[in-house]
């Protein structure tokens, strides 16, 4: 297997990072909604925390994308 | 029909200015599509905000209420994260938020070039925020700013935590710039890949041409999603900038 082929396979494998990202975003929004249904009064105060959690989860997947891009274009 | 979905992110001189404007050393400086769209964003943003509030009516017009809405939105964001002391950063956060929002929004026009899909741009915006936070921290607290990395805990826990906090602090510029850049890149690539499906199915002829309606409908849905992402990423960038600046102002104290 030459280096180019190994890089392409590695870039494909790096996208597995999005599995964790997807699970994380699901957990964040799911828990927010279940919390918001229990206590709708407090829901709007936690809006910032919701998006911080979302941003952090998404980032973990994007690191995988970063590795894929580095493998493909360097 | 091998259209390259990454071609849209190519920074190249605009068609009517192929010659370099000037040279810095031996590097030619071109007027690129990126520069063109940044100027478009800058001019339209300035015009929008200036025209919207130039009359200053008590009962706002539609445009004036849009401007006021964005102003109050950013104001509320700063108030929530860092309290009244954070309002000295209002101009910075408001500028960054509106600039990213307009760049993302203009990027969704079919002919447009997405400025925020270049890591050079997003990393520069991040550098401004992070350097402001570091300078503010050192000016306000002196070397006490380094207490940011220390938490009150037994030594066995504290030492690795200091290391972890330091690593997380160093990862901030990468994470903040990567998030915006990668979201724009991924979203626009996805749209172009779907558009490629429509073209190849349409060109295949026969029953396949009818099938082309499926990815076409998907593109409409994805474009709507991209509008959400465009706003969300501007919001996330602004709120994380607020939090970093608030940490520099207050360290770990609750305000």
Could you write out the DSSP letters of every residue in B190-233?
Answer: HHHHHHHHHHHHHHH-THHHHHTHHHHHHHHHHHHHHHHHHHHH
Nearest to B122 by CA among B103, B94, B137: B103
Asked if residue B23 is part of any domain, the answer here is no
pLDDT digits (tens, 9 = 90+) for B114-137: 889 888 999 999 999 999 999 999
d(CA B237, CA B176): 7
Asked if residue B22 is part of any domain, the answer here is no
Test A52 with B240 for CB contact under 8 angstroms.
yes
Asked if residue B192 is part of any domain, the answer here is yes
Residues of A with CB under 8 A from a CB of B: 48, 51-52, 54-55, 58-59, 62-63, 65-66
pLDDT at position B206 is 80
Q: Which of B179, B231, B237 to mutate to test the interface with A (most CBs of A within 10 A)?
A: B179
Q: Does B119 touch chain A (CB under 8 A)?
A: no
Task: Give SS3 for B235.
Answer: helix
Nearest to B176 by CA among B232, B108, B113, B130: B130
Asked if residue B14 is part of any domain, the answer here is no
Asked if residue B4 is part of any domain, the answer here is no
Q: Which residue of A has its CA nearest to B174?
A: A63
Test A51 with B178 for CB contact under 8 angstroms.
no
Q: Which residue of B has its CA nearest to A64?
A: B182
pLDDT at position B3 is 64
pLDDT at position B40 is 93
Asked if residue B1 is part of any domain, the answer here is no
Domain of residue B136 covers: 30-141+176-250
pLDDT at position B250 is 84
Test B178 with A59 for CB contact under 8 angstroms.
yes
Test B175 with A59 for CB contact under 8 angstroms.
yes
Which tokens sit at B169?
């602090």
State how far residue B23 is from chain A, nearest Cα, in angstroms.
27
Q: What is the mean pLDDT of residues A46-72?
A: 86
Checking if the pLDDT of A3 tops 50, the result is yes
Q: What is the mean pLDDT of residues B139-157?
A: 83
Q: What is the pTM of this model?
A: 0.86
Only one residue has tokens 């940044």, namely B38
Q: What is the DSSP letter of A46?
A: G
Q: Give percent of chain B above pLDDT 70.
A: 97
Test B182 with A52 for CB contact under 8 angstroms.
no
Is B246 exposed, middle or buried (CB count within 10 Å of its CB: 0-12, 13-18, 19+)? Answer: buried
Contact B103, B116 (CB under 8 A): yes
Asked if residue B17 is part of any domain, the answer here is no
pLDDT at position A55 is 86
Supply the mean pLDDT for chain B. Answer: 87
Q: What is the mean pLDDT of residues B217-228?
A: 90
Q: What is the pLDDT confidence band of residue A31, given thresholds at 50, 70 and 90?
A: very high
Q: Which of B122, B176, B178, B243 to mutate to test the interface with A (most CBs of A within 10 A)?
A: B178
Checking if the pLDDT of B204 tops 90, the result is no
State how far residue A59 is from chain B, nearest Cα, in angstroms.
6
Total domains present in chain B: 1
Asked if residue B150 is part of any domain, the answer here is no
């Amino acid at each position: 297997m030459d280096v180019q082929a190994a890089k392409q396979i590695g870039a494909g494998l790096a996208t597995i990072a999005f599995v964790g990202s997807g699970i994380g975003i699901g957990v964040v929004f799911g828990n927010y909604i279940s919390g918001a249904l229990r206590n709708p009064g407090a829901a709007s105060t936690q809006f910032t925390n919701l998006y911080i959690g979302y941003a952090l989860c998404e980032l973990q997947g994007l690191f995988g994308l970063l590795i894929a891009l580095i493998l493909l274009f360097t | 029909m091998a259209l390259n979905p990454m071609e849209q992110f190519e920074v190249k001189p605009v068609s009517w200015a192929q010659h370099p404007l000037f040279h810095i050393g031996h590097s030619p400086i071109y007027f690129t599509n990126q520069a063109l769209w940044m100027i478009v964003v800058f001019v339209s943003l300035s015009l929008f905000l200036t025209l919207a509030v130039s009359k200053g009516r008590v009962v706002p017009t539609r445009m004036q209420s849009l401007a006021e809405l964005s102003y109050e939105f950013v104001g509320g964001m700063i108030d929530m994260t860092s309290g009244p002391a954070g309002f000295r950063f209002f101009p910075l956060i408001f500028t960054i938020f509106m600039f990213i929002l307009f760049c993302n929004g203009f990027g969704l026009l079919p002919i447009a070039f997405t400025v925020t899909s270049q890591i050079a741009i997003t990393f520069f915006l991040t550098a401004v925020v992070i350097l402001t936070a570091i300078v503010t921290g050192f000016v306000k607290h002196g070397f006490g700013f380094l207490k940011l990395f220390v938490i009150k805990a037994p030594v066995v826990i504290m030492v690795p935590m200091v290391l972890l906090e330091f690593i997380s602090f160093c990862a901030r510029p990468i994470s903040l710039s990567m998030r915006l850049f990668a979201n724009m890149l991924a979203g626009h690539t996805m749209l172009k890949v779907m558009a490629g499906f429509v073209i190849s199915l349409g060109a295949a002829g026969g029953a396949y041409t009818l099938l082309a309606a499926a990815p076409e409908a998907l593109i409409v849905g994805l474009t709507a999603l991209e509008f959400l992402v465009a706003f969300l990423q501007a919001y996330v960038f602004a709120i994380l900038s607020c939090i970093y600046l608030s940490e520099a102002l207050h360290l770990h104290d609750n305000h």
